[in-house]
Amino acid sequence: MASQYENVTDTELAMLEVLWKEGPSTIRQIAERLYPKGKFSQYTTVQSLLQRLESKGYVARDRSAFVHVFEAKVDRSALIGHRLQDVADKLCEGSLTPLLLQLAEGAQLTDEQREILRKVLDDASE
């Protein structure tokens, strides 16, 4: 299963992170968040990347005001799910089990995280 999200670069993901955390934002707001002591070149980089994300369908642009506002069109959990499934498809013949086992074994989960994981697994089996 090919994922529609596999072509999101790390830099584009950083832009989406700002939009997920801050909500709809202008280019300047995103640039200031990513490059606090940035220069004009960073502003134009953010502008170009947002245009690329818009053309890919990951962000929407509100052009109703003089200053355009960008908003994420893709949900963080949907992107995570698709990216994890893509990794499972490539490394685990489509099965999420080896991937989840590796993540659970490699991480030091807190009691709360283990409880959440148990609940998710219990809910999924119903």
Q: Domain 1-95 falls in which CATH fold?
A: Arc Repressor Mutant, subunit A (1.10.10)
CA distance 20 to 75: 8
Residue 24 has a pLDDT of 97
Residue 2 has a pLDDT of 40
CA distance 112 to 45: 40
pLDDT in 10s for each residue of the chain, 126 residues: 344 665 788 899 999 999 999 999 999 999 999 988 877 788 999 999 999 999 999 999 999 999 999 999 999 998 888 888 888 899 999 888 888 888 788 788 888 988 888 898 888 877
The full set of domain ranges for the chain reads 1-95, 96-126
Residue 4 has a pLDDT of 60
Distances 52 to 45, 47, 109 between C-alpha atoms, Å: 11, 9, 37
Residue 6 has a pLDDT of 57
Nearest to 13 by CA among 57, 77, 79, 60: 79
Nearest to 50 by CA among 81, 77, 80, 19: 19
Biggest alpha carbon–alpha carbon distance for the chain: 54
> Count of CB atoms within 10 A of residue 122's CB?
9
Residue 117 has a pLDDT of 84
